[in-house]
């Protein structure tokens, strides 16, 4: 009988200890939790329209999309073909190591929210594919004329968006070491809001299509002008100008 009572007493004490431990280590309420550790920073190398001064840089600047910090200029440690292709003059970095040039760009640290936005823009992984590569990172102020990138750059790992699947004829395109929308190539990038919704430029990666001068279709130009304050625009005027351009 005494043995039975002793056993029961031990079990009760164990239960009390477990309950005390449970309540003393109960999680903090959500309002008090710091979730910063749940969104680690990711290092990204951008080489095209996401750079400062380029058409899509607004996505990185917009804090509503997440956090982004400019770290410096970057350069690939492997040569890749940076080309401008499709009728919308989109810069692509082809996944073909050893061809092309060492590519210059910018390096950012971004949080998971911003990374998600970048993935959406680049249509990763269905169109572009994001892979982590070795990159040289250099402070912008340290890069003076005539000073090699290798002397001031430090090696780091960063994510890069590549076009992994493409027609081999795209390798015949002009290859660039650095991209700017206002370059001497004259191939202005066509932003998504002015593109023809019925045309799928993704199919062009299967064949080479000569870049074209970007122009707004009639409907897009009418909407753009009306958004800028014009109450009425005659589409026939645009039709006339298009016909004149086509006859040049």
The verdict on whether 18 is a catalytic residue reads: no
Task: Find the helix packing angle between 235-246 and 218-227, rounded to 10°.
Answer: 130
Q: Which residues pair with 46 in a beta bridge?
A: 106
Catalytic annotation, pick one of 54, 106, 122, 204? 122
- The beta-strand segments (E) located in 59-207 are 68-80, 82-85, 90-93, 101-110, 129-138, 154-162
List CB contacts of 226: < 8 A, sequence separation 6 or more. 232, 233
Q: Is residue 65 reached through a cis peptide bond, with omega within 30 degrees of 0 on the bond before it?
A: no
3-state secondary structure of 178: coil
12, 21, 37, 40, 213 from 25: Cα distances, Å: 20, 6, 20, 25, 65
72, 91, 96, 175 from 148: Cα distances, Å: 15, 25, 24, 21
Contact yes or no for 58/117 (Cβ under 8 A):
no
Cα 41 from Cα 68, distance rounded (Å) = 9
Catalytic residues: 122
């Amino acid at each position: 009988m005494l043995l039975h009572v002793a056993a029961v007493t031990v079990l009760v004490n164990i239960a009390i200890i477990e309950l005390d431990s449970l309540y003393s280590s109960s999680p903090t309420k959500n309002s008090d939790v710091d979730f910063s550790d749940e969104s680690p920073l990711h290092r990204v190398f951008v080489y095209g329209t996401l750079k400062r001064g380029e058409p899509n840089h607004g996505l990185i600047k917009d804090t509503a999309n997440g956090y982004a910090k400019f770290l410096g200029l970057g350069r690939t440690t492997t040569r890749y073909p940076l080309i401008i292709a499709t009728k919308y003059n989109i810069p692509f970095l082809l996944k073909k190591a050893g061809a092309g040039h060492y590519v210059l760009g910018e390096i950012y640290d971004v949080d998971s929210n911003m990374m998600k936005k970048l993935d959406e823009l680049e249509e990763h992984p269905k169109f572009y594919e994001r892979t982590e590569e070795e990159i040289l990172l250099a402070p912008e102020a340290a890069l003076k004329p005539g000073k090699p990138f290798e002397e001031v750059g430090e090696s780091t790992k960063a994510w890069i968006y590549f076009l992994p699947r493409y027609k081999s004829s795209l390798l015949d395109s002009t290859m660039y070491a650095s991209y700017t929308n206002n370059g001497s190539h004259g191939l202005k990038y066509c932003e998504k809001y002015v593109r023809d919704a019925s045309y799928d430029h993704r199919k062009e990666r299967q064949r080479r299509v000569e870049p074209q001068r970007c122009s707004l279709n009639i409907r897009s130009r009418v909407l753009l002008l009306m958004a800028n304050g014009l109450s009425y625009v005659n589409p026939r005027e645009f039709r006339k100008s298009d016909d004149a351009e086509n006859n040049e």
